[in-house]
Each structure stands twice: as structure tokens, then as C-alpha cells.
Amino acid sequence: MSYVEVKGVAKAYGKRTIIENINVSVAKGQFISIVGASGCGKSTFLRLLLAQELPTHGEIHIDGAPMAQEPGRDHGIVFQRYSVFPHMTVIDNLVAAIAFDTNFWGRLSRARRTEERTKARKTLDRIGLGHVAGQYPADLSGGMLQRLAIAQALASDPKILLLDEPFGALDPGTKIVMHDFLQELRDETGMTVFMITHDLEEAFKLGDRVWAFDKPVWDEEDPEKNAATITYDFDARDDGIPFQTLRERTNVLQAR
């Protein structure tokens, strides 16, 4: 059954339409990787899913209901650039995320604060950051910072996790460790995940489906003209097209 339903969605800024004719349906727990040329509207699409922006046309339904008109707690998001607070320790960063989630930080009782701290400590142990709980983000490696950012995004037990090039700044070894980490989290939580990446191998390794955003019509004289849409929706599991042959079959996915 469909969990996220996107019907005829388009987004324009002023007179310029960035994406259009987006019609997709995603089952609960699916992992969608999103690839495509720079500037073709991938992050714009994530912002629509996050309700940070509203579509110019079309509708998005989540779990059978029209999407909220503003960002809510059922979505978590992680960006490539680490979105942690530099002046707070690792554990305080996580406690702050939990507090934002509860919305009652100022009024939390001492007992509740202790409870939240214990919860944060457990989460840090779970994600391998227990030993740096008292340190500041500046002392952490890129992989550690992204673990912390993901843990913050998960503080509200989101139903949908949005990842905008989360591992783009990491070295190849750390990336592989982060892939395992993300796959474990996904197995544990059953979240539906949308991840933008410029790394095709990563897209096919992690995704159940890989969507390619592209402009069906290019205007060489004016590359900014015309909108992009989802031109390919690949099944990346079982009977999917193997990554190795994909590059040969299509040039749409070649890095531009």
C-alpha cells in the first residue's frame, strides 16, 4: 500500500518552473535514492516533502492524509553540512534535539530532564558516540558529526527521514561505515527514507528504488529553461538493473 503519494506536483519560483509532473507512490519503509544533475530540483523536492515549501500544483499525501502545511515532527532531515550546534557538547546537542521535539523544554521537571539525559546517553552509546558525550563538535570527525546529526533527526521518531547528500563530505572508508549504520537504523525503525546523493554506487547500494531527476527537454541556448521531472524510476533490488550495466545503458545518470 502506498504511504507517500505524490500527484501531479510542480514547483515554480516566480516564472521559472523547477520541477513538474511528479507522480510517484512510495510504500511504507521504502528507501528512495534520488540522483540527478546539479540544480535540477532534487533539494526542492525534499523541501516539498518536508512541507518547508508548498507545491505550486499538485498534492502530496502521507499515510492517506494531505500533507501538513508546515514542517512537523514526523519528518527528520539531515544535510551534507553538519547541522549540529558548535557551542554545545555532543550530549547537549542530542538533549536539545529531544527538547525541541517535546516543545516543553523550559517547563520540563528536573526528573524529566534527567530522564531525557539518560535517554540521550543510551542513544549515544547505541550510535557509537558514548565515549565523546562530553566533547564539542569541533573535536569530532566528519563521520561522528553525521552520526550525531542523524541521531538528532531521529529524536522525534520520525516516520520519514530525508537525507540531502548526508555522506557527500566523508572519505570513502567512513562512508561505508555510515552505510552500515544507516541500514541498521532503518531495519530497527522501519522508516521511509528519501536520500539525495551524487554517488551512484551509494544510491543503488542503499536504495530500494533509484529516481533520476532530469529535464526531458533541454534548451542548449538557455539551460535554465524547462523543468525537471523523475525521468527514471529504477528498481534497485532483486530484479533491478545491476549497477554495473546501468552506466552503459543510459547516459542520463552520467555525472554532469
Nearer to ligand ATP, 39 or 66 (CB): 39
3-class secondary-structure state, position 228? strand
Least Å from the CB of residue 148 to ligand ATP: 22
Write down the least CB distance from residue 77 to ligand ATP, Å: 13
Helix (H) or strand (E) holding 101: helix 90-102
Amino acid identity for residue 120 in this structure: A
Question: 80 vs 146, which CB is nearer to ligand ATP?
Answer: 80
Identity of the residue, 43 or 231, whose beta carbon is nearer to ligand ATP in the bound complex: 43
Closer to ligand ATP by Cβ: residue 38 or 245: 38
- The residue among 243, 192, 197 whose CA lies nearest residue 6 is 192
Using DSSP's 3-state secondary structure scheme, residue 45 falls into helix
Minimum CB distance to ligand ATP, residue 111 (Å): 44
213 is written with which cell numbers?
Answer: 531527476
Toward ligand ATP, which CB reaches closer, 55 or 137? 55
Cβ-count burial 102-133 (b if 16+ within 10 Å, e if not): eeeeeeeeeeeeeebbeebeebbeebebeebb
Residues that bind ligand ATP (CB under 6 A): 13, 18, 36, 38-44
The least distance separating ligand ATP from the CB of residue 204, rounded to whole angstroms, comes to 18
> Which secondary-structure segment (H or E) carries 248?
helix 243-249
Within 75-155, strands assigned E span: 75-79
Report in angstroms how near the CB of residue 154 gets to ligand ATP at its nearest. Answer: 23
